[in-house]
Amino acid sequence: MNTKISKTYITECFGDMAAPDGYAAIGKMRERLENLKECFRVSGLINSSLQLDEVLENIMTTSRSILGADACSLMLVDEKSDELVFEVAQGPVADMLKGGLRIRRGQGIAGSVHDSGEPLLIENAYEDARFNREFDRMTGYRTQTILCVPLKIKERVIGVSQVINKLDGSNFNEEDKETLSLLCAHAAIAVENARLHHEILRSQQIEQDMAFATSIQLSFLPQEMPKIEGLRFSAHYQPAREIGGDFYDFIPLDEDRIGILIGDVSGKGVASALFMARFTTAFRVLAIREQDPERLMRKANEIVCAQSCRGMFVTLLYMVLKKNCGDVVYVNAGHLPPIIWNGPEGRYATLRGIGGPPIGIVPDQHYPCAGMSLNPGDCILLSTDGLIEAKNDKGELFGWERIESCLSAGDSEVESAKSRISFALSQFVGECPQADDITLVLAGFEEK
């Protein structure tokens, strides 16, 4: 086999590639292939690292190397101010451009690209009216030629990258623009990946906080109902996804009396749950020491006024029941009024008009109490606003009328009444998300 190949044969097979200029073209092609390899390498970095600073620095190092630039920078848009903020700067005066230096939309070449969303090729910076000479004055650098390209996600500009001054003294060209645009597309993906990763971590943290808040709240609720001759108790607590500050408690005062507490701390989340835990513990201690409900509520109000953080307050209803005679004394601090009904006798009443504002708002507030006597078969319902304010898919509220219908539809046995309300609420709300905690406490007086 003849291994000698003539120039004529090469020319016939490869045309102009065999000419002297063709060898240069092959060299140029090899250079472009190497550049593409670098671009693919950068693409791999994005998928292998969530360290945004590291990835962006590497992308700009690659851009500067491939394009033969003396300096380069990458800026990201601050969503709040709509300004460009320097994230990466490389070159002779890079240190002067770091530390959160900002560029307004429309200011200079970078600001113009941010505004238009289109790349800019500037052969002579000082002949372009958009060029901001202040950076050169500030740094002592002399800008000659600029290539500036936007970073985009779905046509939304999230940043700008620029390379400055070719090391060989030539100008940046269309091929350079294509290369930098490709690298900036990778940079935009890296920024978006980092943002999504941050959102996932934040979402996970919120989920953990909600689980923690729920565990706090549940740990401070009674684990079982009191067993007292002549009285029957039931309770239902249904936390919302964004947990609020609902609470209830049963406080044994002596052999003949028991205190019932229900309330709602303002706000949601961990802060409300922690405040609730602290408050219910303090209130229980106070209730055992202070037998008079009016003085008890006044002291509780002073404590919350003195210790409340970020304007937190508490709506609260406290009731004392005597088991032998059915006498009831209660005091209301901005909470929903209690409901009393007797199924067999068909009696129903909402006990409004007694009390004062939520505790923690007005210092030295007086809270008058009210009293009544229960008859055998009477039942009392205490609830938080999550019950009456529960909404269906039409935006309608569950409301007082539906509660009355539930209570009037059967006897006064507390478990049965609770089940009727819970079932009616579930049917009414359907698949609508629950916006607030829902808490019910029921107490029934039985004839011995």
User: What are the domain boundaries of the chain?
Assistant: 7-197, 220-445
Query: Does residue 60 contact residue 91 with C-beta atoms inside 8 Å?
Result: no
Which three-class secondary structure state does DSSP give residue 323?
A: coil
Burial of 407-443, coded b for 16+ CB within 10 Å and e otherwise, reads beeeebbbebbbebbeebbeebbeeeebebbbbbbbb
Place of tokens 């209830």: 248
Using CA atoms, how far apart are residues 336 and 329, in angstroms rounded to an integer?
Answer: 16
Query: Does residue 109 contact residue 122 with C-beta atoms inside 8 Å?
Result: yes
Residues 272-306: pLDDT tens digits?
A: 878 888 899 999 999 999 989 999 999 999 999 98
Query: Does residue 416 contact residue 374 with C-beta atoms inside 8 Å?
Result: no
Query: Does residue 220 contact residue 247 with C-beta atoms inside 8 Å?
Result: yes
Query: What pLDDT score was predicted for residue 118?
Result: 96
Q: Name the pairing type of β-strands 379-383 and 339-342.
A: antiparallel
Query: What pLDDT score was predicted for residue 239?
Result: 82
Q: What is the 3-state composition of the chain as percent helix, strand, coil, each rounded to the nearest 5? A: 40, 25, 30
Residues 72-123: pLDDT tens digits?
A: 999 999 989 999 999 999 999 998 887 778 999 999 999 999 999 999 999 9
Place of tokens 């219908």: 405
Class of domain 7-197: alpha beta
Share of the chain above pLDDT 70, in %: 87
Using CA atoms, how far apart are residues 316 and 310, in angstroms rounded to an integer?
Answer: 19
Residues 343-355: pLDDT tens digits?
A: 777 788 888 877 8
Using CA atoms, how far apart are residues 157 and 149, in angstroms rounded to an integer?
Answer: 10
Per DSSP (E only), the strands in 360-411 are 369-373, 379-383
**Cα distances (angstroms) measured from residue 398 to each of 266, 390, 426, 433:** 21, 5, 10, 14
Burial of 229-266, coded b for 16+ CB within 10 Å and e otherwise, reads ebbbbbbbbbbbeebbbbbbbbbeeeeebbbbbbbbbb
pLDDT band at 129 (very low <50, low <70, confident <90, very high): very high
Query: What pLDDT score was predicted for residue 34?
Result: 62
DSSP string, 72-90: EEEEEEETTTTEEEEEEEE
Q: What's the predicted TM-score (pTM) here?
A: 0.61
Residues 403-432: pLDDT tens digits?
A: 998 988 878 889 999 999 999 999 999 888
314-322 sheet: strands from edge to edge: 245-252, 257-265, 314-322, 327-333, 369-373
At residue 66's C-alpha, the angle toward residues 62 and 67, to 5°, is 115
Choose among 63, 82, 32, 33: nearest CA to 187: 63
Summarize the confidence of residues 369-383 as an average pLDDT. Answer: 91
Using CA atoms in the order 300, 303, 305, 310, what is the torsion angle rounded to 10 degrees? -110
- CATH architecture of the region 220-445: 4-Layer Sandwich (3.60)
Q: Name the pairing type of β-strands 120-122 and 314-322.
A: unpaired
Average pLDDT over the chain, rounded to an integer: 85
